[in-house]
A and B are shown apart, each in its own frame.
Chain A
Amino acid sequence: MKLADVVRPITSRLGGDRFTRTTLNKLFPGHWSFLLGEVALYSFLVLVATGVYLTFFFSPSDAEIVYDGSYAPLVGQTVTEAYASTIHLSLEVRAGLLIRQTHHWAALVFIGAILLHMARIFFTGAFRKPRELNWTIGLTLLVLALAMGFSGYSLPGDLLSGTGLRIAYSIAESVPLVGPWVTFLVFGGEWPVEGFTSRLYAVHILILPLAILGLLGAHLAILWRQKHTQMTGPGARDDNLVGERLWPSYAMKAGGLALIVGGVLLVLGGTVQINPVWLYGPYDASSVTTAAQPDWYIGFLEGSLRLWPAWETRIGGLTIPAVFYSGVVAPAIMFGLLYAVPALHRRLTGDRSEHHLAQRPREAPVRTGIGVAAIAFYVVLFVAGAQDVIASHFDVSVDVVRNLLRVLLVVLPPLAGYLAYRICRALAAGGAHPERTPVGFPLARTELGGFVEARAGTPEPPEPPVTEHDLEELDDAGVGGQGDPREQGR
Chain B
Amino acid sequence: MSSDRPRRPRVGDDGRPGRAGPVASAVVAVFGALAALLRRLSAWITGHHRPPSAASPPTDDGEPEGDGPGGPDERDRRDLLRAVAASELEPVELTRLDHGDGSHQWLAVGPAPTRSALPIALLLLASAACAVGFAVVYAVDGSHVLQGVLLGGALLGMGVSLVAWGARLLPETLSLERREPLDQGQRAALETDLSRPELARPGRRVLLGSLVGAAGAFLVAAAFPLRSLGPKPGNALSTTAWRAGLRLVTADGRPVHRDDIPLDGALTVFPEGHTDAGDSQVMLLRVPDGLLSPGTASGGVVDGRVAYSKVCTHAGCPVAQFRVDSRPPITSYELLCPCHQSLFDVLDGARPIAGPAASPLPQLPLAVDDGGYLVATGDFPAPIGPSYWDEP
Render A329-340 as a binary contact track against B, CB cut-off 8 A, 1 for contact.
Answer: 000000000000
Across the two chains, which residue of chain B brings its CB closest to A464? B56
State A23–B86 Cα separation when bound (angstroms).
Answer: 27
Counting chain B residues whose Cβ lies within 8 A of the other chain, the interface size class is 35 or more
Q: Which residues in B have their C-beta under 8 angstroms from that of A302?
A: 340
A247 to chain B, nearest CB (A): 10
Q: Which residues in B have their C-beta under 8 angstroms from that of A411?
A: none
Q: Which residues in B have their C-beta under 8 angstroms from that of A317?
A: 390
A372 to chain B, nearest CB (A): 12
Selected interface stretch from A147-155, A205-213, A250-258, A375-383: A250-258
* A95 lies within 8 A of B163 (CB): no
* A479 lies within 8 A of B81 (CB): yes
A280 lies within 8 A of chain B by Cβ: no
* B388 lies within 8 A of A427 (CB): no
Q: Which residues in A have their C-beta under 8 angstroms from that of B144?
A: 95, 97-98, 101, 270
Q: Which residues in B have their C-beta under 8 angstroms from that of A241?
A: 176-177, 179
Render B70-111 as a binary contact track against A, CB cut-off 8 A, 1 for contact.
Answer: 000010111111111110000111110101010001011000
A44 to chain B, nearest CB (A): 16
Render B35-51 as a binary contact track against A, CB cut-off 8 A, 1 for contact.
Answer: 11011001000000011
Across the two chains, which residue of chain B brings its CB closest to A31? B53
Selected interface stretch from B201-209, B310-318, B368-376: B310-318
B285 lies within 8 A of chain A by Cβ: no
For window 163-204 of chain A, which residues contact chain B by CB distance below 8 Å?
Answer: 163, 166-167, 169-171, 173-177, 179-181, 183-192
Across the two chains, which residue of chain A brings its CB closest to B16? A459
* A267 lies within 8 A of B279 (CB): no
Choice from A32, A234, A267, A307 contacting B58 with Cβ under 8 Å = A234
Choice from A235, A271, A327, A482 contacting B82 with Cβ under 8 Å = A235
A444 to chain B, nearest CB (A): 14
Selected interface stretch from A6-14, A119-127, A135-143, A285-293: A285-293
The tally of CB-CB contacts under 8 A between chains A and B is 448
A239 to chain B, nearest CB (A): 5
State A429–B93 Cα separation when bound (angstroms).
Answer: 38
* B156 lies within 8 A of A430 (CB): no
A388 lies within 8 A of chain B by Cβ: yes
B167 lies within 8 A of chain A by Cβ: yes
B185 lies within 8 A of chain A by Cβ: no
For window 322-349 of chain A, which residues contact chain B by CB distance below 8 Å?
Answer: 322-324, 326-327
* B152 lies within 8 A of A434 (CB): no
Chain B interfacial positions (CB closer than 8 Å to A): 1, 5-9, 11-12, 16-21, 23-25, 27-29, 31-32, 35-36, 38-39, 42, 50-59, 61, 69, 74, 76-86, 91-95, 97, 99, 101, 105, 107-108, 138, 141, 144-149, 151-167, 170-179, 181-183, 226-227, 229-233, 236-237, 251, 268, 270, 276, 278-279, 281, 310, 314-318, 320-321, 338-342, 352, 354-359, 385-391
Selected interface stretch from A65-73, A108-116, A417-425: A417-425
Number of interface residues of A (CB under 8 A): 152
Choice from B25, B56, B107, B226 contacting A245 with Cβ under 8 Å = B107
Q: Which residues in B have their C-beta under 8 angstroms from that of A75?
A: none
A428 lies within 8 A of chain B by Cβ: yes
A446 lies within 8 A of chain B by Cβ: no
Choice from A95, A285, A481 contacting B318 with Cβ under 8 Å = A285
State A97–B142 Cα separation when bound (angstroms).
Answer: 12
* A432 lies within 8 A of B25 (CB): yes
* A270 lies within 8 A of B147 (CB): yes
Do A189 and B91 form a contact, CB below 8 Å, given A263-B155, A460-B17, A470-B85? no
Do A354 and B182 form a contact, CB below 8 Å, given A251-B166, A398-B341, A459-B17? yes
6 cross-chain pairs, A with B, having the tightest CB-CB distances, nearest first: A270-B148, A480-B94, A259-B159, A252-B166, A266-B152, A256-B162
Pairs A–B under 8 Å by Cβ, sample size 16 = A163-B317, A169-B316, A188-B229, A192-B276, A233-B58, A241-B176, A250-B166, A253-B162, A262-B152, A262-B159, A266-B148, A267-B156, A288-B339, A426-B19, A435-B51, A479-B108
A237-B58, A245-B175, A270-B146 known; 14 new pairs, CB 8 Å cut-off, are: A170-B314, A181-B233, A184-B230, A189-B230, A252-B170, A266-B152, A288-B318, A310-B356, A356-B179, A402-B355, A457-B18, A466-B81, A485-B93, A486-B93
